[in-house]
Amino acid sequence: MKPAAFDYRAPRTLEEALGLLREHQDEAKVLAGGQSLVPAMNFRLARPAVLVDIARVPGLDRIDLDDPGSVTVGARVRHLDLEHNTIPGPLGVLLARTGRWVGHYPIRVRGTFGGSLAHADPAAEWCALACALDAEIHCRSANGARVVEACDFFEQMAFTTCLAPDELLMGVRLPSLGDSWGVGMAEFARRWGDFAIVLAIAAVERDGDSVARARIALGGVAGGPVRAAHAEAALSGRAATPESVAAAAAAAAEEVDPTGDIHGSADYRRDLVRTMVTRALNQALA
């Protein structure tokens, strides 16, 4: 469990970092918190020739609250910073509720928001959250910047995104959910801190006793995070009742097509989808 030989570079500016990525292309890998990449290197599943450590690149660790309609989370913001965040309103609540499910404390101290998205584990909490909220993912290479919608960012194949080898994920713009929104998060894993078998993220906009809009995303049921479109439709515009929640949960279980592994068969995951969506929605509507 020793990595293959690699070069280590620690650029001090964004230009330098992007230059290194351009120079080495797919021979290079960005090193952020190292909580996924380093184990993969130790198993020799990843063999980058050059590691570009972005720890010293300025500006990537900011949470930007300046724009009233949105919050931009820098790529290098740690999981723990989001768990303990001071972001106002339902968005802050959702980030905190979700953050505590990411791995174990030491992992949350080092692992980063951007790293999690770039790594794109199908059961990663942040990926599902970004998808649920239609986050904008800001990417940049030496050739320029672009913005990608979260649901287009993740390919439906595990650990794959649309990031080019020379591109850096800079930050993620999330809608600051107004006070009419309720948020919920539910997850089932074999042990505390494990990757989810199934997780559900829900954000629901209330309009009196009914639901104006529902956003529901799932993790652990496909190659990447997925939106439960039928479940959202089953709830949007309906009264917020146990029956409508049950109908949405049933729709979610119906529309997913999970594959099984040693921790849970496809059928079990499908059943868990129903339970997790129910729980996330109940939390969001509480």
Partner 1 sequence: MIGESVPRLEDRPLLRGEGRFVADIDLPHQLHMRIVRSHAAHGTITSIDAAEALAVPGVAAVWTGADVADVPPIDFRQVGADQMVPYRQPILAQRRVRYVGEPVAAVFAADPYTAEDGAERVVVEVAELPPVLDAAGPLGDFDERLDTEAYVFTEATGDVEEAFARAEHILEAEFRVGRHTGVPLECRGAVAAHHRDTQTLEFLGAAKVPFQNRDALAQMLGLPPSRVVLREAHVGGGFGVRGELYPEDVLVALAALRLGRPVKWIEDRQEHLVAANHSRDQLHRLRVATDARGVIEGLEVEFVSDQGAYVRTHGATVATLAAAMLPGPYRIPNYRVTGRVRLSNKTPAGTYRAPGRYESTFVRERAMDAVAAELGIDRAEVRRRNLIGSDEMPFERGIDALGTPVVYDSGRYETMLDRVLDHIDYSALTESLAERRAAGELVGLGLGFFVEKSGLGPFAGSRITVDGSGRVTVTTGEASVGQGFETVMAQICSDVLGVGLDSISVVHGQTDQMSYGMGAFASRATVMAGTATHDASEALRQRAIEAAAEMLEASADDLVMADGAVSVAGSPAQAVTLGEIASALGPASPLARGRPGLVAEEWYTTSHMNYPYGLHAGVAALDPDTGRLAFERYVIAYDVGRAINPMLVEGQIVGGAAQGFGGALFEDFSYDEIGQPQATTFMDYLMPTAAEMPDLEILLSEDAPSPLNPLGVKGAGEGGTNACGAVVAAAIDDALGRPGAVTSLPVTPERLHAMCRSLAATG
Residues engaged in binding partner 1 (CB under 8 A): 1-5, 43-44, 188, 190-195, 262-265, 268, 271-272, 275
Our CB check for partner 1 shows the closer of 27 and 194 to be 194
Q: Which residues bind ligand FAD (CB under 6 A)?
A: 29-37, 39, 54, 75, 102-103, 107, 111-112, 114-116, 118-119, 121, 124-126, 163, 168-169, 193, 195
Give the one entry of partner 1, ligand FAD, none that residue 102 binds, where binding means its C-beta sits below a cut-off of 5 to 8 angstroms depending on kind: ligand FAD
Question: Closest distance between ligand FAD and the C-beta of residue 70, in Å?
Answer: 19
Question: Closest distance between ligand FAD and the C-beta of residue 191, in Å?
Answer: 10
Q: Which residue reads 């539910």 in tokens?
A: 186
Give the one entry of partner 1, ligand FAD, none that residue 33 binds, where binding means its C-beta sits below a cut-off of 5 to 8 angstroms depending on kind: ligand FAD
Question: Closest distance between ligand FAD and the C-beta of residue 23, in Å?
Answer: 16
- Burial (CB < 10 A; 0-12, 13-18, 19+), residue 142, is middle
Give the one entry of ligand FAD, partner 1, none that residue 239 binds, where binding means its C-beta sits below a cut-off of 5 to 8 angstroms depending on kind: none
Question: Closest distance between partner 1 and the C-beta of residue 77, in Å?
Answer: 25
Distance of CA 94 to the CA centre of its chain: 12
Six token digits for residue 113: 């928001």
Our CB check for ligand FAD shows the closer of 72 and 244 to be 72
Give the one entry of ligand FAD, partner 1, none that residue 103 binds, where binding means its C-beta sits below a cut-off of 5 to 8 angstroms depending on kind: ligand FAD
Question: Closest distance between ligand FAD and the C-beta of residue 206, in Å?
Answer: 29
Give the one entry of ligand FAD, partner 1, none that residue 166 binds, where binding means its C-beta sits below a cut-off of 5 to 8 angstroms depending on kind: none
Give the one entry of partner 1, ligand FAD, none that residue 124 binds, where binding means its C-beta sits below a cut-off of 5 to 8 angstroms depending on kind: ligand FAD
Our CB check for partner 1 shows the closer of 5 and 286 to be 5
Give the one entry of ligand FAD, partner 1, none that residue 85 binds, where binding means its C-beta sits below a cut-off of 5 to 8 angstroms depending on kind: none
Cβ contact 170:60 at 8 Å: yes
Question: Closest distance between ligand FAD and the C-beta of residue 214, in Å?
Answer: 23
C-alpha 205/C-alpha 179 separation (Å) is: 9
**Cβ neighbours of residue 195 closer than 8 Å, sequence gap 6 or more:** 121, 123, 124, 189, 220
For ligand FAD, the nearest residue by Cβ is 111
Our CB check for partner 1 shows the closer of 69 and 192 to be 192
**Cβ neighbours of residue 216 closer than 8 Å, sequence gap 6 or more:** 132, 200, 201, 202, 227, 228, 231, 232, 235, 248, 252, 277, 280, 281
C-alpha 205/C-alpha 215 separation (Å) is: 9
Our CB check for partner 1 shows the closer of 21 and 249 to be 249
| Of the candidates 252, 249, 242, the residue with the CA atom closest to the CA atom of residue 278 | 249
